[in-house]
């Protein structure tokens, strides 16, 4: 049985009191902040303040005299002109003054007391990122007298390593810098003999036959763990090219291992063994001196010495993921984004910088055909034959799919009656030896191969 509701007692106010009291404002729902503001919440300020570089900016190279605009020496500028490079691309115009500048500190091999800012660059593919880091590396390292491993370039694939090596060799020609690669293409023992001069005695300062090492992460970790005297303590530049791809690889936690190897270990307990290993002063990097009391002279300028390694990250997207950024342990990072200022530079008012969108080359147009999976080869044939496509890269999900598609093309070509303009199709994958891949690429450039799958 339910009880009848109790009468609610109304509070009555006298008419005078009602007049004298201000009306208490009712709570109102505030407007939601725009998405663009919300998207910036909690982000690293350096990322929000990224320098946006106009992709069409160019800087002509002056062959003679000083050039404070780029910081490039006359010798390097002459070399660029010899190679047919007469102007700098957008990413290079932004990065060179930042990395080389006019201050001597930016050009020194060690800067234990002045921390160099790390750099993150997002720029479209083909925009000239390689030269943007190769030029400063060659310029700074050319002042070295003793060979130490001072620049490490990490790339996701063997082919990219070879490509970057060619660029470094072309720019560094005649500078006496030694360049090495580690990709697993040769035996481990052969690579060891190419990279390290002395593996017999334990040298605290490491031992290196190369000034610049270009490598894939797997082989780099193998050398860190298995090559005596392979040391990253003298690194001045750590370049992570194609960073978006490399950071997605957790292989042996490679990044954490590499970063740890650039830092001095916490403390080496002083034992009779460490005492007898006291190395020559000049073979140790300044930040590693404290590990050896014999050489760590206590003076008025005995301040903490930092490692001089400057990290340079390059990719076509820029991650804003705080987890991934923290893993990189960046030092006062400076972000550069090469991106047009068109309306496409924002999605829903959120700048592309933080939307983790690929920065696309300006002239590239994207189209999409939606079809059933079995129709995909037919769609491709339609595009190739009806739209006279004669210079295309086709990506498939595996090397088997690539070979299958090429076979299908060959059947199709053979079955076409009176085929006057045959289409040359080749598959290209890691199954092929490096030399063959290089030949295919050259033929593709020369238009002897029309489709590369
Ligand atoms: N300043 C320049 N003048 C003329 N050509 C240049 C210049 N800078 C780079 N190039 C050429 O442009 C091409 C693309 O450069 P690069 O490979 O460095 O681009 P990228 O941004 O690294 O591209 P990806 O992301 O695909 O590796 C290369 O053939 C390179 O030699």
The domain spans of the chain are: 45-266+281-345, 373-452
Pick the CATH number of 45-266+281-345 from 3.40.50.300, 2.10.210.10, 3.10.150.10, 3.40.640.10: 3.40.50.300
Q: Whose CA is nearest to atom 3 of ligand 1?
A: 85
Tokens of 452: 């590369």
- What is residue 6's DSSP assignment? P
CATH architecture of the domain with residue range 373-452: 3-Layer(aba) Sandwich (3.40)
Helical spans, DSSP H, in 248-398: 254-262, 272-276, 322-328, 352-355, 376-386
pLDDT in tens, the chain (453 residues): 455 555 555 555 566 656 677 777 777 777 877 776 776 666 677 777 788 888 888 999 988 878 888 889 999 999 999 999 999 999 999 999 999 986 767 778 777 777 889 999 988 888 999 999 999 999 999 988 889 999 999 999 998 999 999 999 999 999 999 999 999 888 989 999 998 887 777 777 788 899 999 999 999 999 999 998 899 999 999 999 988 888 777 666 888 999 999 988 765 555 555 554 544 444 777 777 665 555 555 555 566 777 889 999 998 877 666 677 778 888 889 999 887 655 455 555 555 555 555 566 777 777 888 888 888 888 888 888 888 888 899 999 888 999 999 999 888 888 877 777 788 999 998 888 888 888 999 999 999 999 999
User: Ligand 1 centroid vs 182 CA: distance in angstroms?
Assistant: 23
pLDDT of residue 384: 87
Q: Whose CA is nearest to atom 26 of ligand 1?
A: 125
CB 427 within 8 A of CB 402: yes
Ligand 1 lining (C-beta closer than 6 Å): 85, 87-89, 92, 123, 125-131
Q: For 358-407, write each residue's pLDDT tens digit.
A: 566 777 777 888 888 888 888 888 888 888 888 899 999 888 999 999 99
User: Ligand 1 centroid vs 167 CA: distance in angstroms?
Assistant: 10
Q: Whose CA is nearest to atom 10 of ligand 1?
A: 128
Three-class secondary structure of residue 160 per DSSP = helix
Q: For 106-118, write each residue's pLDDT tens digit.
A: 778 777 777 889 9
* Pocket perturbation via mutation, ligand 1, pick of 53, 92, 130 by most ligand atoms within 8 A of CB: 130
* 41-54 residues labelled b (16+ CB within 10 A) or e (exposed): eeebebbeebebbe
User: Ligand 1 centroid vs 11 CA: distance in angstroms?
Assistant: 80
Please identify, by atom number, the ligand 1 atom nearest to the C-alpha of residue 86.
3
């Amino acid at each position: 049985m339910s009880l009848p509701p109790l009468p609610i007692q109304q509070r009555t106010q006298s008419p005078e009191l009602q007049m004298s009291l201000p009306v208490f404002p009712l709570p109102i729902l505030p407007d939601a902040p725009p998405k663009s503001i919300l998207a910036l919440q909690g982000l690293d300020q350096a990322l929000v303040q990224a320098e946006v570089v106009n992709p069409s900016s160019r800087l002509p190279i002056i062959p003679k005299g000083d050039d404070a605009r780029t910081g490039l020496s006359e010798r390097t500028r002459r070399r660029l002109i010899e190679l047919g490079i007469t102007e700098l691309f957008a990413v290079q115009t932004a990065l060179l003054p930042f990395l080389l500048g006019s201050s001597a500190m930016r050009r020194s091999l060690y800067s234990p007391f002045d921390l160099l800012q790390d750099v993150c660059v997002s720029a479209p593919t083909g925009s000239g990122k390689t030269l943007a880091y190769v030029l400063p590396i060659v310029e700074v390292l050319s002042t070295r007298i003793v060979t130490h491993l001072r620049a490490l370039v990490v790339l996701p694939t063997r082919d990219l390593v070879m490509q970057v090596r060619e660029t470094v060799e072309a720019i560094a020609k005649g500078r006496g810098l030694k360049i090495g690669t580690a990709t697993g293409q040769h035996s481990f023992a052969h690579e060891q003999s190419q990279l390290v001069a002395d593996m017999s005695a334990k040298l605290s300062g490491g031992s290196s036959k190369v000034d610049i090492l270009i490598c894939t992460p797997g082989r780099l970790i193998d050398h860190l763990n298995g090559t005596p005297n392979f040391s990253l303590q003298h690194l001045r530049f750590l370049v992570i090219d194609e960073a978006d791809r490399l950071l997605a690889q957790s292989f042996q936690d490679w990044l954490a291992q590499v970063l740890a190897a650039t830092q001095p270990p916490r403390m080496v307990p002083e034992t009779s063994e460490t005492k007898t290993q006291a190395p020559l002063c000049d073979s140790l990097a300044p930040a590693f001196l404290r590990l050896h009391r014999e050489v760590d002279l206590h003076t008025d300028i005995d301040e903490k010495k930092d490692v001089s390694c400057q990290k340079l990250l390059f990719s076509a997207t820029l991650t804003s993921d705080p987890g991934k950024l923290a893993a990189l342990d960046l030092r006062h990072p400076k972000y550069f984004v090469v991106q047009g200022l068109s309306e496409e530079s924002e999605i829903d008012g959120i700048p592309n910088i933080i939307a983790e969108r690929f920065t696309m080359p300006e002239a590239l147009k994207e189209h999409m055909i939606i079809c059933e999976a079995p129709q995909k080869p037919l769609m491709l044939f339609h595009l190739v034959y009806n739209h006279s496509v004669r210079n295309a890269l086709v990506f498939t999900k595996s090397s088997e799919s690539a070979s299958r598609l090429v076979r299908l093309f060959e059947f199709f070509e053979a079955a076409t009656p009176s085929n006057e303009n045959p289409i040359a199709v080749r598959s290209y994958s890691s199954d092929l030896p490096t030399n063959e891949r290089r030949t295919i690429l050259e033929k593709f450039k020369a238009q002897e191969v029309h489709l590369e799958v």
